[in-house]
Amino acid sequence: MGSLYTTFKQQLDASDYTRFILAFSGGVDSRVLLDLLARYQQERTVECLAVHVHHGLSANADDWAERCQQWGLASDIPVIVEYAHIAHVTGASLEHVARDARYALLAKHVTEKSCLLLGQHADDQVETFLLALKRGSGPKGLASMAQHDTFAKGGRLRPILTHTRRDIEEYAARHQLHWVTDESNQDERFDRNFLRHQITPSLTARWPNIYTSIQRSAELCAQQEEVMNYLLEDKLNAVRHHDNSLSITCLQPQPEALRAMIFRRWLHKLGVTMPSRRHTQMMWHEVALAASDANPMLNLGVYHIRRFQQRLYCVRPVDDVSQWQQVLRLDEPLVLPSDLGTLYLHTGESNGLSLSLPPDYDSSALSVSFDPAGREARPQGRAGRRKLKKLYQEMGIPSWHRRQYPIILYREQVVAVAGLFVTQDFYGQDYTLSWQQD
């Protein structure tokens, strides 16, 4: 194996990035990367930046941020400090919450043609593999960390992933580098620390080549996952609708194992954390195959799996805005709650629904609501009045979206439902109702 800097330089040279952003915690791994990046910057015409995320979880956090800025100044690489606000999330570990917050802040700096550099190494890869094994992961989880993948609008590179922690510490000592030590790294209540201090030393003492073997297994799992995804794409497309829902009818004849893999591929493409085997089984047996008159739902973190008209949907929960009601005034934009967009009622023709109002209508009596309960309407061109709930069903609007459509009322009589129809009594060409959705 070549020197640390040789590996680092080869990895960066092989990429087509012109801007590198270092995730700079100040620990020995990222401290060494800062030194390597400074050397590389002197040899190549590239733009470099280091980003230190201040989590506020340690009494030493302010000192770490200050020292990182000093090291950046000495290396001629600017250091930006980002402040994370760590909120407690029920059911989530502090490790995961802090990691998600850190990546969200780092992503702000990763634009096109730029690459995030991480100091993860062979020891980290072994720990990641063992943690995936502990969770009972399949090939995707056991593939562990890729040396290079996409991130935000650019890329993510782990240039020293094949080197050990010992390689890194020897480099730091040889170049007389200083770094910060996070006291939480000694806390064996965290699974990764337990593996680092109690398990991997025994493994390497017994099998010195275990790092190489695990790296090879991770790479084979990554290759298998890539092949499976390629073969699954046609299967997924055969059951997926244009709105990203899945046809239950088309899924029905598929073998259970293949159906579970289709679910996982579907959720991955939607950016959802991979479900457990129990969850994929529940998606089918408790949601897809629920009684025809049921309205089943499965929680998957911040997403819900829902069923409507023999299709499965993956949706984010929506806020209840049924009690919200505001006056809609002519030529004044009305901002709707919960990021549901903006309504405009204006004269003349434009994109939207055309309608008319009584010549002397009371502007204070024209309002917007989201509550269809008990309301009836007769859409223009149809015979007879029907409950809004029935009209929504006929129009194929899933139950969880029905209270997200603005209902325009005049003296509590339905004038229109934005995005859907104008009622017979208010159809005309005097005004245009436009719904600009965010």
**155 is known to lie in a ligand binding site:** no
Paired sense of beta strands 246-247 and 114-117, if any: unpaired
Residue found by looking up tokens 């995730």 in the block:
23
Distance CA 418, CA 405 (A): 6
Distance CA 135, CA 141 (A): 9
- For the chain, how many residues are written? 438
Q: Where are the beta strands (DSSP E) in 46-205?
A: 47-54, 79-83, 114-117, 148-151, 154-157
**422 is known to lie in a ligand binding site:** no
**434 is known to lie in a ligand binding site:** no
Residue found by looking up tokens 């480099």 in the block:
171
Secondary structure (DSSP) of 246-274 = EEHHHHTTS-HHHHHHHHHHHHHHTTPPP
DSSP 423: B
Distance CA 335, CA 320 (A): 16
Q: Is residue 224 a contact partner of residue 139, using CB atoms and an 8 Å limit?
A: yes
**28 is known to lie in a ligand binding site:** yes
Distance CA 119, CA 172 (A): 13
Q: How far, in Å, are 83, 275, 314, 403 from residue 303 at the CA level?
A: 27, 11, 7, 18
CB atoms within 10 A of CB 122: 21
CB atoms within 10 A of CB 65: 20
**26 is known to lie in a ligand binding site:** yes
Largest CA distance in the chain: 90
CA-nearest of 256, 258, 281, 280 to 267 is 280
Locate 338 and state its tokens: 């919960």
Distance CA 393, CA 401 (A): 11
Distance CA 408, CA 375 (A): 11
Secondary structure (DSSP) of 350-382 = -SSEEE---TT--GGGEEEE---TT-EE-BTT-
Residue found by looking up tokens 């194929």 in the block:
396
In the annotated binding site for ATP, the residues are 25-30
In the annotated binding site, the residues are 25-30
